[in-house]
């Protein structure tokens, strides 16, 4: 069985991987294709699932150990890395929302342009000569 210290260190390592992935995604998202974004999000999701499993063990240990576990040096590091991870996720979310808003605005402009262009037809479509009426 893993020691509490080992579980905390494992969780801290996973959080560092999550932070690196989230940071990469937030920095590169604007230049990535939709497929690349989906691939990176899937990788991030996989890391999150591993993190949830590790953290569930940590929660059990913390509940069983009582308040004395908070005195372990790795707990402070765990709290810091957890805060960093949440900040990284916030950055990814903000970047995704910004890109979504920009794309939505661009789509609206394109649709407005299509509607405007629909009112125009080529002269040959309504020319009596092209309809055989002359």
* Residue range(s) defining the domain that contains residue 34: 4-120
Does residue 71 lie in a domain region?
A: yes
Whether 51 maps to a domain, the answer reads yes
Q: Total domain count for the chain? A: 1
Query: How much is the pTM?
Result: 0.70
CA nearest to 82, candidates 23, 28, 21, 8: 8
Is 86 inside any structural domain? yes
The verdict on residue 128 lying in a domain is no
Residues 6+ apart with CB under 8 A from 22: 44, 85, 88, 89, 91, 92
Whole-number pLDDT of residue 121 = 58
CA distance linking residue 127 with residue 134, whole number of Å: 9
Block means of pLDDT (10 residues each) for the chain, length 134 residues?
85 94 90 89 91 89 83 89 92 87 85 69 54 51
Distance from C-alpha of 21 to C-alpha of 49, rounded to nearest angstrom = 14
């Amino acid at each position: 069985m893993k020691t509490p210290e080992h579980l905390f260190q494992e969780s801290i390592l996973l959080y560092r991987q999550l932070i690196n992935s989230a940071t990469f995604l937030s920095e590169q998202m604007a230049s990535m294709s939709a497929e690349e974004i989906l691939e990176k999000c899937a990788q991030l999701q996989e890391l999150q699932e591993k993190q949830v499993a590790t953290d569930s063990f940590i929660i059990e240990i913390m509940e069983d150990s009582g308040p004395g576990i908070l005195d372990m040096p790795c707990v402070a590091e765990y709290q810091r890395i957890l805060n960093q991870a949440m900040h990284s996720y916030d950055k990814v979310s903000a970047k995704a929302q910004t890109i979504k808003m920009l794309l939505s605005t661009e789509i609206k402009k394109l649709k407005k342009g299509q509607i405007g262009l629909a009112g125009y037809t080529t002269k040959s479509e309504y020319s009596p000569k092209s309809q055989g009426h002359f």
